[in-house]
Structure 1
Amino acid sequence: MTDTSSSLRILLTNDDGIDAPGIAAMREELTAVGDVTVVAPAENQSGVGRARNEHAVRRDHPWGYALEGTPADCVAYALRGLDADFDIVVSGINDGPNAGNYVVGRSGTVGAGVEAAFLGTPAVAVSSYHARDFFCHPPEEYDFSRPARVARALTERVFGTDVFDEVDLLNVNAPADVPSPRMRVTRPFADYDQQVDHDPDAGALPDGDREHDLDDDEVYVRLQDISWPDSVGFENPFPLDDEHRDRYPVGSDRRAMVDGEVSVSPLAVHHGHATDPRLASIVESLSEQVE
C-alpha cells in the first residue's frame, strides 16, 4: 500500500487524447505511487508540439478534466488554473516513439513536458515503441503495461533526488514487447530530411487538404518527414540491419531503440546558447554602419 500522506502529487496528461489506451495504463500504474489528477486533451492532438491556445473548453471527466486544447494547454491550465499543487507532470504513454531532435521538437507528448518545465514543474514524457512494428498502432491492439511500469519506477525513483536541479524533462522511449529491457541514459540524435512531392494524386490527399478545385497557378504539394533511414513519413523503419545500427552510436536514443532498450534522455528547455566571436564582430561592425 502507498502511504498517501507522503505520496507524489502527479499531473497526468498526453497528446493522444484522454480516452487513449496509453494514458489509461499510465494512470493505473501511477495511482499506486501517488495522487493522480488527469487533465488531457479531449481529442487526439498528436504532433502539435508546444502549441498553445488562448481559449479552451473544459469538461468534467471521472479522472479529472478533458480540455478542448493541446497538451501544453492542459499543463498550463492544470498548473495555474486548478486549486492544487503538483510535484511532477507525467505525459503519455504515447502510442509511438518520440526520438531524435526533430521528432522530439514536434511531439505533443514532449511539448507538455516542456510547458511544465517552463512553469517550474519537473516532467517525464513517456512514449512506447514496438521492436518489430515500430508504431503501436492501432493502440487498442497493444499492451502498454510494460512501458507504464518502467515510467512508474523511473518517476518514483528520480523524484526527490537532485536530478531535476539541472534537468528539466526526461524523455523516455520504452519498448512494449521486450521482456526486462535494459535502461540507458541517452541523448537525442539528429537525423532528419524532408521529401517534397508536387501535384500528388488528389484522391490520396486527406479530405481537409481538398478544400477547393485547383486554379491554374496552384499545385498540390506533400511534405513528408524522413526521420529514419530508408523510411518516409510513417513507414516502419524496423528491423534495421547492422549498417543502420552502426549509424547510431551507443548512448543515442535511436540506438537504444534499435537495441530494444529503454531510452531515457535528460533534456533542458532553455534552447541552449552558443557564443561565436565572429558573430560578435559582425554585429559590432554593423552597429556602426546602420543608422
Structure 2
Amino acid sequence: MSDGLSILLTNDDGIDAPGIAALREELTALGEVTVVAPDGNRSGLGRTRNDTAVVRDHPWGYAFGGTPADCAAYGLRGLDASFDVVVAGVNDGPNAGNYVVGRSATVGAGLEAAFLDTPALAVSAYHSKDFFLSPPEEYDFSRPARAARGLVERALDAGVYDEVDLLNVNAPVDAANPPVVLTRPHHDYGQHVEPVAEPGDEYDLADDERLVRLHDRTWPGAVGWENPFPPTEEHRRLYPVGTDRRALVDAQVSVSPLSVNHGVPDSDALADVVETFEVE
C-alpha cells in the first residue's frame, strides 16, 4: 500500500468545480495533495500551453490563469516540491474515444505530466442514463473520485507506470458497484462543414472570402444532445468489447493506458520510399 504520497491535483473545469473538490477529498487519504488548477473553465484545450500566466494563492494551493497543461508544468517545475503522481479531474463529462481524448484538457494535463516524467491519471465522470452532468452541482462525483483514488494507489504499487505513461479513466456517477475494465480508445469521428455566409451578407467579408462552420462529430451516432452511448443492443454492436465507448454503454469504469510517444508503426512501404528517394 502506498502511504504518504505527494500528489499534484488539477482539472479543466476550474478550481471551484465540484469534481475537483470530490477528488481532493478522496486523495487526501493517500497523502499530501497540492492543487494547481485553472482559475476558470479551460475545457477542450488539449495540451495547449501559454508563455505567461497569473498565479493566485488558494486555500488548496494555487489558482492558475492558464490551461490544465500549464498547471501541470507549473506544479512540477515551478514549485519547490516533488510529486509522486499527477491526477486530473474529476471532469464533468466523459473523455472517451481517440478524438475526444486528443482534445481533452483533462487528459492534456496528464500528458504534460508524463512528458515531465511523472506518472499521471486523468479521470472523467458520466451518467449512464443522462450522460451529460448538467448542471454539475446536481450530481455526486464521489464514485469517480473513489475509482481514481483506488487506481492511483494500486497502479503505483503494482509498477504499472514502468510501462504506462498515463491512465485515462471514465467512471459512472450513478451505477452501483460498476465493474472496472481495461479498455482502448475507440476511433469514432466525423466532420460536417456547412456554409454560413457569402460576400454581401451581413458579415464583413471580402469578395474572395466565405464563412463556414465546422461541426465535430465526436460521436457520429448521436443527434443533438442525446446520450450517444445508451445501453441498447444497437450500441453494443456498434462499439466492440474492450473499447472505452463500449464500457460507457455498459455503465462500467473504463481504464485506458496511454503513451506519450504516439506510437511508431513499422512501414516497409515507407522504408522503400525513403531508401529510393533523392532530393535534387
Q: TM-score, normalised by structure 2?
A: 0.94
Could you say what the CA RMSD is over the residues aligned between the two structures, in angstroms?
Answer: 1.9
* Aligned pair partner of 1:170 in 167, 170, 182: 167
Q: What are the Cα deviations for residues 229-265 of structure 1, in whole angstroms up to 9, with x where unaligned?
A: 4325754324253122111111110111000000000
Aligned partners of 2:163, 2:223: CA distance in 1, in Å?
Answer: 36
SS at match of 1:159: helix
Are positions 1:239 and 2:230 aligned together?
yes
Cα drift, residue 125 of structure 1: 0.2
Q: Which residue of 1 aligns with 2:157?
A: 160
Q: Which amino acid aligns with 2:147?
A: V
Is 2:36 the counterpart of 1:39? yes
2:22–2:145 CA contact under 8 A, matched in 1: yes
**Counterpart Cα distance in 2 of 1:236 and 1:47:** 19
Quick check: 1:86 aligned with 2:77? no
Paired AA for residue 256 in structure 1: A
The verdict on how the C-alpha distance between 1:215 and 1:231 changes in structure 2, with shifts beyond 3 A counting, is farther
User: Do the aligned partners of 1:226 and 1:233 also contact (CA within 8 Å) in 2?
Assistant: no
- Work out whether 1:62 is the aligned partner of 2:53: no
Which residue in 2 is equivalent to 1:203?
none
Structure 2: gaps spanning 5 or more residues: none
Letter in 2 for 1:219: R
Residue in 2 aligned with 1:118? 115
The 1:280–1:221 alpha-carbon spacing in structure 2 relative to 1, beyond 3 Å, is same
Q: Shift in Å at residue 216 of structure 1?
A: 4.6
Question: Structure 1 residues 13 and 212, CA, compared in 2 at 3 Å: closer, same or farther?
Answer: farther
- What SS does the corresponding residue of 2:124 show, helix, strand or coil? strand
Q: Which residue of 1 aligns with 2:250?
A: 259
Contact residue 13 and residue 38 of structure 1 kept, 8 A = yes
Q: Contact 2:11–2:90 at 8 Å: present in 1 too?
A: yes
Alpha-carbon distance, 1:215 to partner: 4.3
Aligned-residue identity in percent: 67
Greater displacement, 137-146 / 162-171: 137-146
The one-letter code of the counterpart of 1:110 is V
SS at match of 1:160: helix
SS of the residue 2:157 aligns to: coil
CA contact (8 A) 1:225 1:232 kept: no
Pairing 1:23–2:20 present: yes
Counterpart-to-counterpart distance in 2, 1:249 and 1:54: 41
CA–CA distance in 1 between the matches of 2:273 and 2:143?
Answer: 53
SS in 2 for 1:77: helix
**Which residues in structure 2 correspond to 1:194-213 (within 5 Å)?**
194-199=191-196, 213=204
* Structure-2 separation of matches of 1:265 and 1:122: 14
Matched residues, number = 276
> In 1, are the aligned partners of 2:232 and 2:249 still within 8 Å (CA)?
no
The aligned residue for residue 134 of structure 1 is 131
- Preserved CA contact (<8 Å) 2:229 2:235: no
- Following TM superposition, by how much is the alpha carbon of 1:285 offset from its aligned partner in structure 2, in angstroms? 1.6
Determine if contact 1:75/1:115 at 8 Å carries over to the other structure: yes
Q: Any conservation in 2 of the 1:89–1:124 contact (CA below 8 Å)? A: yes
